[in-house]
Structure 1
Amino acid sequence: MSVTTVPIRPIAKGSLTKYWVGIALVLIAAGALAWFGTSDVRSKYQSNEAFLASNGKTSGVETTKSGLQFQTIRAGEGKSPTDTDVTLIAYKGTLRDGTVFDQNEQAPLPVNGVVPGFSEALKKMQKGGKYKVWIPSALGYGPDDRTNPQTGEVIMPGDSVLIFEIELKDFISQEEFQKGMAQMREQQEAAQKAGGGAGAGAGASQGIPPEIQAQLEAQMRGQQAQ
């Protein structure tokens, strides 16, 4: 169940945009930061306020004015992303009891397309860095339980503190990202008109790794069949 809009090994500069586009078409379509089954932690632990107050005293943990808590595990280099960028990250999200609710090794994620706490954290990171963040519910998904629409089961307790380990692998501007996606769609359409089929638009010339290329081709075949 996707609740948000939610990078890569070094590659040649000329193929960067095309590579991002291939990753994005696979991963954005699948959704990001999806909620999986979780246990209700509210009756088992101290209050969120007490937890965050204690965690904020941990060496290396910075508490920002908004209440976000941020720790640098490994420093990165260069500039930080802005609201107009799309990041490429590896992340793992857990609840206070250690329940993993989502994780991904390479996810394209727009800075301005996620919950406020996650967005704020991304803008404090640098390329190549690894970080840990604690997002209070007010900066996350708020006080209401999130339930499975089919079963009614609570899959995310309200007022959950979200804990993420995040590695910022790369980032590009949204303008460059959208331009690359448009170019790839044009290539796909041209290949289909020429009788090359959906897979021809995602060939090796796009600079996409074989495993990602296979996923992309399968997705495009599925879209074409609909």
Structure 2
Amino acid sequence: MTEITRVPIKPIAKGSVAKLWLGIAAALLLAGTLAWAGRARGVEVEVVAEGTGASPTKDDVVFVRYTGTLPDGKVFDKSQDIPLPVQGLLPAGSPLPLANMIPGFTEAALQMKKGGRYSVTIPADKGYGAEGRRDQQGTEVIPPGADLTFDVEMIDFMSRAEFEQRIQVLQQAMQMQQGQGTPAPAPAPE
């Protein structure tokens, strides 16, 4: 028969169990704090003026007026209303298909309502990330790792199918005007 060597284990001293549990609790608290601090920040949407009705879906085209700024306050983009020859065919503002936008802008737009005004902060990882963005000439427009802020007015939205149908009507109207040699009427002021 094999003999096992016995090693005596000292009993735990009085008060050591409480210290052990306090140590475990402190370690868990520290781990939780580090996990919370290291998590990815989300998109922040501040309502400046409440809109009404439903919100768009990720497959919709939104019509917005916006100004995009960098953390130093520099404007990197500003929307412009598109002058259309057929009044009333499309809403005012810039049409933006949400499926083609940066993730943070889409996420924010899904929380907006028609007629509302919003201040949106998009962290870099939901914007242009570590790459930033350059224009067609190669000039840096958005530096790598930059958070973005947008002031947005949600004018209206519609499904992408409805938008494409209205664009076809617009193209047909323009072709008819060109075929007749009649200049397109100027859009009426709002």
What range describes the TM-score normalised by the shorter chain of this pair? 0.5 to 0.7
Per the alignment, in what secondary structure is the counterpart of residue 93 of structure 1? strand
Work out whether 1:168 is the aligned partner of 2:161: no
| Structure 1 counterpart of 2:73 | 98
Match of 2:173 among 184, 187, 196: 187
Where does structure 1 lack aligned partners over 5 or more consecutive residues? 1-52, 54-64, 212-226
Work out whether 1:110 is the aligned partner of 2:97: yes
Work out whether 1:196 is the aligned partner of 2:189: no
Per the alignment, in what secondary structure is the counterpart of residue 97 of structure 1? coil
Q: Which amino acid aligns with 2:188?
A: P
| Structure 2 counterpart of 1:22 | none
In 1, distance between residues paired with 2:189 and 2:121? 35
What percent identity do the matched residue pairs reach? 39
Match of 2:188 among 187, 206, 209: 209
Work out whether 1:146 is the aligned partner of 2:133: yes
Work out whether 1:125 is the aligned partner of 2:104: no
| Structure 2 counterpart of 1:78 | 53
Q: CA RMSD in A?
A: 2.4
Per the alignment, in what secondary structure is the counterpart of residue 79 of structure 1? coil
Q: Which amino acid aligns with 1:80?
A: S
Per the alignment, in what secondary structure is the counterpart of residue 89 of structure 1? strand
Q: Which amino acid aligns with 1:125?
A: M
Per the alignment, in what secondary structure is the counterpart of residue 121 of structure 1? helix
Where does structure 2 lack aligned partners over 5 or more consecutive residues? 1-36, 81-92
Q: Call closer, same or farther: CA 1:80–1:66 in 2, change over 3 Å.
A: farther
Q: Call closer, same or farther: CA 1:83–1:147 in 2, change over 3 Å.
A: closer
For the 8 Å contact 2:70–2:142, the answer to whether it is kept is no
In 1, distance between residues paired with 2:155 and 2:140? 33
Alpha-carbon distance, 1:99 to partner = 0.8
Which structure shows the higher helix fraction?
A: 1
| Structure 1 counterpart of 2:5 | none
Q: Which amino acid aligns with 1:76?
A: G
Per the alignment, in what secondary structure is the counterpart of residue 163 of structure 1? strand
Q: Which amino acid aligns with 1:203?
A: P
Q: Which amino acid aligns with 1:209?
A: A
Per the alignment, in what secondary structure is the counterpart of residue 180 of structure 1? helix
Q: TM-score, normalised by structure 1?
A: 0.55
Alpha-carbon distance, 1:138 to partner = 0.9
Q: Which amino acid aligns with 1:165?
A: D
Q: Call closer, same or farther: CA 1:88–1:192 in 2, change over 3 Å.
A: same
Alpha-carbon distance, 1:83 to partner = 1.7
The Cα offsets for residues 200-221 of structure 1, whole Å up to 9 and x where unpaired, read as: xx436xxx4269xxxxxxxxxx
Q: TM-score, normalised by structure 2?
A: 0.65
Per the alignment, in what secondary structure is the counterpart of residue 183 of structure 1? helix
